[in-house]
Amino acid sequence: MKKLTTSELREMYLRFFSEKGHSIIPSASLIPENDPTVLFTTAGMHPLVPYLLGEKHPEGTRLTDVQKCVRTGDIDEVGDSSHLTYFEMLGNWSLGDYFKKEAIAWSWEFLTSDKWLGILKDRLYFTCFAGDENAPRDEEAYECWLSQGVSPDHIFFLDKKHNWWGPAGMTGPCGPDTEMFFDTGKEKCSPECNPSCSCGKYLEIWNDVFMQYNKTAEGTYELLEKPNVDTGMGLERTVAVLQGAGSVYEIDTLSKILETISHHATISYTESDESIRAYRIVADHMRTATFMIGDPKGVLPSNVDQGYILRRIIRRAIRWSLRIGMPENTLSKISETVIDLYKDFYPEIGEKRDYITEQISLEEQRFQSTIKLGMREFDKLMRKFQYVQCERIIDGKAAFRLYDTFGFPIEFTEELARENDIAVDIAGFHAAFEEHQKKSQAGAEQRFKGGLADSGELTTRLHTATHLLQAALRSVLGPEVAQKGSNITSERLRFDFSFPRKMTREELDSVEQLVNEFIAKDYEVTCEEMTVEEAKEAGAIGLFESRYGARVKVYTMGAVSKEICGGPHAARTGELGKFKIKKEEASSAGVRRIKAVLE
């Protein structure tokens, strides 16, 4: 088995699939484009959903990539041997091209061949879908593994919970999968021990998803006309196997981040189980925060959507850094190590070094000024339970006060309470939140999460209008204006852009008038495919071009707008109707927001 570094495994994986006829495409943004169901890119398949549903990809039908991902559903598990909020997925994709036979054969070759990873064959185990009312037992995948020489007792059939890959959001392409596990050498937890156990004997390192179905909004499963293959190999987990590391935090990159933390902490990494957990949480969260802020779509700490998650992650890192004696305002030093480790493969974070560290320092300063007072307030609540016989629950108003006055995200309060065996009245918190701030809907599950709500005619018109809005803003305010995000439904558009101050009434009127002039000229909306370099030479705005690959789609509207984009568009600007700005407001530091409609 080869002992590879993180960089070496990335390079080897991409080279292997390039030799198999795959085009190498770059990682997409951590912020999903045109997906209203999730806040972050949570899997390698996420940015490719339109192509998995049949849209033609500029780079062909065989693709391979390394995708940045963020998942926060298991944030309470971070600090153990395997859970991370930020991670990288190595992927290869068949868009209606090859299927199970080839995907499984190549997975086996890459894992076991001496030319590639050279993992001993008897250390590998596999699972296949057992079948249910939606899809049959996956005998085809089972037979493909047998044809590679895998022993039948190394293959297990598991249910949908374990061997079915759902869509990136609530709907979309999905299907059965086959998963690959490395035997860590631990003893079996029982005679029935298998890869579905959480005992740690089997570590999942790769997943081949066979997308044969599309899950509809009604919850039904339709067969796709052309099935696809979506695979994902966890970079950190696989490197841990190759390096013989006891956890993902011992691999070459994360261990260097832990080393930087040790230079600033007064408590050593190995002093206790709690110190080990604290080091790991700080390392993971600062790596995640660095990539969020340094993303091409740049997230900033705020009280809504992605900014809320970022703020929670940074503030959680602050709390755990205090437990190991790190001085105030040193988290940016950890971020600098992250940048140095990853900037060669992800140059965007190197280019934004000063900006990233500045934003982390600002958020740390904001929270440091209140956390001590907040912790004292929390301790008062805990003393009440110690001396007064009452139900061990923090009421909603007290939880909201910690949030509103001291900046504690509700999850932060829940975590502190859980450590003290106390419950939190979440329903009461949300009631207090809604009463205090009517305009903000409580809970991420109630919010619209960025991009396009759908690809219907009205939403498509408003999406087209955002191109004209950006052109008008750049004309009125200057070329430094850049898109920072959008949120579009069939009823209205919301457009975020970089600008340091509130717009004047005259500026807003000029922008609105200019957009309507563009609409009245009834420009044809044309689309051309070209390379990124050709697009830039043609003068296209390429704010988010990294997600597309070497070839991109460029939409042009007369001489006023030329943008790299992947969403749906109207045929002509004259179809849009009358453009009306409803509101202009601050979104975050240095970012303004316009809400507008088409009448």
Closest of 334, 313, 346, 342 to residue 252, by C-alpha: 342
| Cβ within 8 Å of residue 216, ≥6 positions away | 171, 222
Q: How far apart are the C-alpha atoms of 59 and 548, rounded to whole Å?
A: 9
pLDDT at 144: 96
pLDDT at 22 over 90: yes
pLDDT at 479: 86
pLDDT at 594: 96
pLDDT digits (tens, 9 = 90+) for 355-376: 999 999 988 888 876 777 778 8
Of the candidate ranges 193-197, 342-346, 530-534, the one whose mean pLDDT is the lowest: 530-534
pLDDT digits (tens, 9 = 90+) for 98-143: 999 999 999 999 999 999 999 999 999 999 999 988 888 999 999 9
Q: Kindly state the tokens that stand for 417.
A: 């309470």
Share of the chain above pLDDT 70, in %: 93
Of the candidate ranges 60-64, 154-158, 221-225, 504-508, the one whose mean pLDDT is the lowest: 221-225
pLDDT at 240 over 70: yes
H or E segment to which residue 66 belongs: strand 62-70
Give the 3-state secondary structure of 243-280: CCCCCHHHCHHHHHHHHHHHHHCCCCCCCCHHHHHHHH
The runs of H, that is alpha helices, within 113-192 are: 139-147, 160-163
Answer with the residue of higher pLDDT: 166 or 293. Answer: 293
Confidence of residue 295 (pLDDT cuts 50, 70, 90): very high
The overall average pLDDT reported for the chain is 87
Q: How far apart are the C-alpha atoms of 477 and 455, rounded to whole Å?
A: 30
> CB of 28 within 8 A of CB of 546?
yes
548 DSSP β-pair partners: none
pLDDT at 531 over 80: yes
> CB of 122 within 8 A of CB of 185?
no
Answer with the residue of higher pLDDT: 77 or 434. Answer: 77
pLDDT at 62 over 90: yes
pLDDT digits (tens, 9 = 90+) for 384-420: 776 656 677 888 888 888 887 777 778 778 888 888 8
Mean pLDDT on 518-543:
85
pLDDT at 440 over 50: no
The runs of H, that is alpha helices, within 388-492 are: 396-406, 410-419, 426-436, 457-477
Mean pLDDT on 315-324:
90
DSSP state of 284: H
Q: Kindly state the tokens that stand for 484.
A: 């920072």
pLDDT at 241: 93
Q: Is 8 exposed, middle or buried (0-12, 13-18, 19+ CB in 10 A)?
A: middle
pLDDT at 445 over 60: no
pLDDT at 75 over 90: no
Mean pLDDT on 46-56:
82
The runs of H, that is alpha helices, within 65-149 are: 100-112, 139-147
pLDDT at 550: 64
pLDDT at 467 over 50: yes
Confidence of residue 441 (pLDDT cuts 50, 70, 90): very low
pLDDT at 390: 62
Task: Please give the single-letter amino acid code of residue 338.
Answer: V
Confidence of residue 70 (pLDDT cuts 50, 70, 90): very high
pLDDT at 466 over 80: yes
Give the 3-state secondary structure of 328-372: CCCHHHHHHHHHHHHCCCCHHHHHCHHHHHHHHHHHHHHHHHHHH
Task: Please give the single-letter amino acid code of residue 247.
Answer: S
pLDDT at 450: 41
pLDDT at 446: 42
Which residue reads 């036979």 in tokens?
A: 101
pLDDT at 35: 65
> CB of 50 within 8 A of CB of 566?
yes
Confidence of residue 532 (pLDDT cuts 50, 70, 90): confident
Of the candidate ranges 13-17, 125-129, 132-136, 471-475, the one whose mean pLDDT is the lowest: 132-136
Mean pLDDT on 39-45:
85
pLDDT at 122: 93
pLDDT at 34 over 70: no
pLDDT digits (tens, 9 = 90+) for 552-572: 888 999 989 998 887 788 999
pLDDT at 486: 85
Provide the 3-class DSSP secondary structure of residue 428.
Answer: helix
pLDDT at 438 over 70: no
Share of the chain above pLDDT 90, in %: 53
pLDDT digits (tens, 9 = 90+) for 506-528: 999 999 999 999 999 999 999 88
DSSP string across 497-545: EE-SSPPPHHHHHHHHHHHHHHHHTT-BEEEEEEEHHHHHHTT-B-TTG
Confidence of residue 168 (pLDDT cuts 50, 70, 90): low
- For the question of whether the overall pTM of this predicted structure is more than 0.75, the answer is no
